[in-house]
Structure 1
């Protein structure tokens, strides 16, 4: 998806594509005069402001409504400090990823590389012990990207089902969440069958307007009758901290969006830098997440729900309207998020195997149907919104957002450009450890909580 609108200008000699050396980068003098940004041809490039708006849109989804529950798992003060630290760490790792890709493009004299391609090229020029993994790395990166995007789609399905249920139950009586999720299957299937993203653009604009208006009403409810702040613990249990980590990472990290936006900018050099688009966008997003997480948990304490809208007095028409409007906005976003795994699977693994087939369109729609069915099966199997968010954040983004960029940076600067005392290597090893620990601890905590919740529901059923 990230590179669909980018045309690569022919350059004559290309070490990577011509097979000469695989991009070892040992003769930097031949690359000093090459700037990949100058050779990108983008059909509809975005300005700095447009890129910033897209970045904010990509980051402000269901995650922001889950932040108060994340603070419940960390404590008020711990959540405040930790969210700023995780936001800074996410931003730094995104800079590492973008810079590493730029260096590799410069060495290989190509305008652009996708995330999987970048990982492969980096490992090929890195430490000898990592090079055997190079040919498998694109598959691994694609796996995490696909799993993450399908995970987002699962979260969206559960979010819509839960929020519609609390409203409709007020008028028709209580029914199972399964029924509400199944009732949304056809609409989700139809929106995922839209093959042209331009057709979704007007709906995305509508979703942005709805989200902005709804956020104002959310603040109206949250800031009313705040209790004594001393009633909220400053620190939570160590066991639940990985749940906080996973939720916050899911909310803040947008690695796929960032790569796509940087690739499609009119002035990509303005993406990085101290006052670049990435820093400005991430600062705004982090402040919003910290603010709503802090105030939301302060307001509702341990009674806070996985989606903050579920805490509002649902008998009030305004609260009902917010739940429905947010559901509409998230439903529209499903079309965008579902497009990504379809594009990866179709373009990378399927279309080349169907070359010459007269039924390509039918096969593509079959893939789209399959992706929707998979997300619905997962959503019906584990309809736990908060744990879903934490699980996919911890499992996928710990790798995509922390470990992989750090590995790429080690390989890109290996062996002679790792800085004094090899501080780059030390720093990146620490980032890899953060990613691995976050993945294992976060996934374990989420799965344990899911098992405990299933056991509780089974006991209640008996």
Structure 2
């Protein structure tokens, strides 16, 4: 977290200094609305809901006193994050202009010490958080990957079971690395696609569906749930189509993946 916050702070300071400095904002300025790629913004925004599944477990782990305060704290936190995202994005776009890449560190001044420190910090943060993010998914996949992974720990083949699991997890790491390399030059489309296919159901479709089936009683509440359900499905379908349609088969002139 410290590496990520430090990197964001350094980039934000650089962007503000560039905009307010002698050079002024980037020329030409980025368009206020891009009719060709605006759908990618929707998918990327929905991608922010990737951690929404942790809200209920966090709430349930709190004491009753803290649970009563949780909605207010949660709302203030989300609001602060949204404001920061808006300020950060506007500042960086104003400083760099329409040539901005999905990975903003590509557009920073090359070979400067603070830029190298920011890039190294993000690498460290990625290496430390990747196992935490992958482990729950791997645990679920191991249950269905192959029966040999389900051998009892007391089985004579327990050692073989351990090595099979290690091999499976290694394969998953290599697979995710391969996907990352393949999608690096179209990161915006890839993130938008993941947001549309995975995060939109988590953030809109499933909560609305569960609330509709388990909680909603009056017509107004049911109508709101149905509206949210339709909204989530629409965002998912529309953004998926646009993300695939705008995926360029040719690598860009300035690749972010050396």
Match runs of 1:240-251 below 5 Å: 240-251=37-48
User: 2:217 corresponds to which residue?
Assistant: 418
Given candidates 150, 162, 170, the residue that maps to 1:361 is 162
Whether 2:62 is the aligned partner of 1:269: answer no
User: 2:237 corresponds to which residue?
Assistant: 440
Query: Normalization by structure 1: what TM-score?
Result: 0.48
User: 2:53 corresponds to which residue?
Assistant: 256
Q: Is the 8 A contact 1:252 1:285 kept in 2?
A: no
User: 1:328 corresponds to which residue?
Assistant: 124
Note the alpha carbon deviations across 1:285-327, whole angstroms, 9 max, x for none: 2121111112112222211110222211113222122112212
> Secondary structure at the residue paired with 2:121?
helix
Question: How far did residue 456 of structure 1 move?
Answer: 5.8
Match runs of 1:307-456 below 5 Å: 307-346=103-142, 353-355=150-152, 356=155, 357-358=157-158, 359-383=160-184, 384-413=186-215, 417-419=216-218, 422-450=219-247, 453-455=248-250
Whether 2:17 is the aligned partner of 1:224: answer yes
CA distance in 1, matches of 2:229, 2:58: 25
User: 2:256 corresponds to which residue?
Assistant: none
CA distance in 2, matches of 1:369, 1:457: 31
CA distance in 2, matches of 1:338, 1:397: 16
Question: How far did residue 372 of structure 1 move?
Answer: 0.7
Question: How far did residue 270 of structure 1 move?
Answer: 3.7
Question: How far did residue 363 of structure 1 move?
Answer: 2.8
CA distance in 2, matches of 1:271, 1:353: 42
Given candidates 215, 218, 233, the residue that maps to 2:31 is 233
Question: How far did residue 253 of structure 1 move?
Answer: 4.3
> Secondary structure at the residue paired with 2:231?
helix
CA distance in 2, matches of 1:209, 1:270: 29
Whether 2:79 is the aligned partner of 1:280: answer no
Note the alpha carbon deviations across 1:159-216, whole angstroms, 9 max, x for none: xxxxxxxxxxxxxxxxxxxxxxxxxxxxxxxxxxxxxxxxxxxxxxxxx222222222
| RMSD over aligned Cα atoms | 2.7
Query: Normalization by structure 2: what TM-score?
Result: 0.82
User: 1:31 corresponds to which residue?
Assistant: none
Question: How far did residue 373 of structure 1 move?
Answer: 2.1
CA distance in 2, matches of 1:439, 1:211: 29
Question: How far did residue 399 of structure 1 move?
Answer: 1.0
Match runs of 1:30-49 below 5 Å: none
CA distance in 1, matches of 2:102, 2:116: 17
> Secondary structure at the residue paired with 1:224?
helix
Question: How far did residue 404 of structure 1 move?
Answer: 0.8
- Residue segments in structure 2 that go unaligned for 5+ positions in a row: 254-258
CA distance in 1, matches of 2:250, 2:2: 41
Q: Is the 8 A contact 1:253 1:397 kept in 2?
A: yes
**Residues 324 and 228 from structure 1, CA distance in 2 versus in 1: closer, same or farther, beyond 3 angstroms?**
closer
Q: Is the 8 A contact 1:395 1:439 kept in 2?
A: yes
> Secondary structure at the residue paired with 1:244?
helix
**Residues 370 and 264 from structure 1, CA distance in 2 versus in 1: closer, same or farther, beyond 3 angstroms?**
farther
Question: How far did residue 223 of structure 1 move?
Answer: 0.3
CA distance in 2, matches of 1:309, 1:270: 41
Q: Is the 8 A contact 2:205 2:229 kept in 1?
A: yes
